[in-house]
Amino acid sequence: MAEEQSPTEASSKTVTLRIAKSNPEHDSASQFAEFKVPYERWTTVLDAILDVKKHMDHSVAVRYSCRQASCGSCGMKINGRPGLACFTKISELNSDVVTVEPMNNYPIVRDLVVDLEGMFSTHKKMKPFIINEESEVTANTKEFLQTPEQVEEYIQFSNCIKCGLCNSACPTMATDSSFLGPQALTQAYRYVADNRDKGKNERLKIIDESHGIWRCHFAGSCSQVCPKGVDPAMGIQMLRGYLLGFKK
């Protein structure tokens, strides 16, 4: 049987991939393992990590699924900035060394895998569904008609893939473990801005607390790292407009 070849083996360019390795059950701090990985113009950071996993170190723990920025599984810190490994090309980083670490502000499970449970629970807290008694499916159920303008109000914020990069970049999340975070607040806005929804007051009550929306200081880092153009910083400021009475 012919020996399996790395898909990028024929490449002349190589990059040093530094992978943070840690197992919280045994180690208190991460240690970096370095690998020389060949790459092409189109090689993503995830391709390189999987190359390492397949040919050099099978023990590297990484979570991934779709490889096309749709599932939000492969969020990690790439050269100090949160990003999706499948959506970041090595050639675009303009660096001979690529350092990958687990996302900040989430507990580490192992190596590059973090526990997103906290984010999912705050997401659920925002009641991420249309609250409207008429939305119950009955024999007489009719579709809700919306104008394109009404759709534009929230469609951008419904692109969230729950990758958690925004929470990782947020400076408030860095120090406040109880902060709801940009992901959850943006999802609250997504439903508040939807004219089919009648749960605005319920959601505004949830976010109007000491570790809620008022702890956002509009640093904008969440919007800069969002791989789907959701712009959480905008959503949060608009949401605050409702609480301050500028929007009805």
62 scored as a contact of other proteins (CB under 8 A): no
Strands 113-114 and 14-21, how do they pair?
unpaired
Tell me the Cα Rg of the chain: 21
Please state, in angstroms and rounded to a whole number, the distance separating the CA atoms of residues 179 and 190.
Answer: 19
Q: Please report, as residue ranges, which positions from 228 to 247 form the binding site for other proteins (by CB under 8 A).
A: 228-231, 233-235, 237-241, 244, 246-247
- Binding span for other proteins by CB under 8 A among 8-16, 42-50, 124-132, 227-235: 227-235
220 interacts with other proteins by CB under 8 A? yes
70 binds other proteins (CB under 8 A): no
CB atoms closer than 10 angstroms to residue 106: 19
Task: Between 8 and 223, name the residue whose CB sits nearer to other proteins.
Answer: 223
Largest Cα span, the chain: 71
Binding other proteins (rule: CB under 8 A), the pick from 48, 114, 184, 185 is 114
Considering the complex, state which of residue 55 and residue 196 has its C-beta at the smaller distance from other proteins: 196
Residue 205 has φ and ψ, to the nearest 5°, of -65, -40
Contacts made by residues 173-177, CB under 8 angstroms, sequence distance 24+: 173/105, 174/104, 174/105, 176/211, 176/215
- Under a CB-based contact definition with an 8 Å cutoff, are residues 38 and 13 in contact? yes
Taking residues 143 to 182 in sequence order and writing x for each that binds other proteins by CB under 8 A, - otherwise, the string is ---------xxxxxx-x---------x-xxxxx-x-----
Cβ at position 172, least distance to other proteins in Å: 8
Beta pairing class for 14-21 and 31-38 = antiparallel
Residues in contact with other proteins by CB under 8 A are 22, 24-25, 28, 80-81, 102-108, 114-115, 152-157, 159, 169, 171-175, 177, 193, 217-221, 223-231, 233-235, 237-241, 244, 246-247
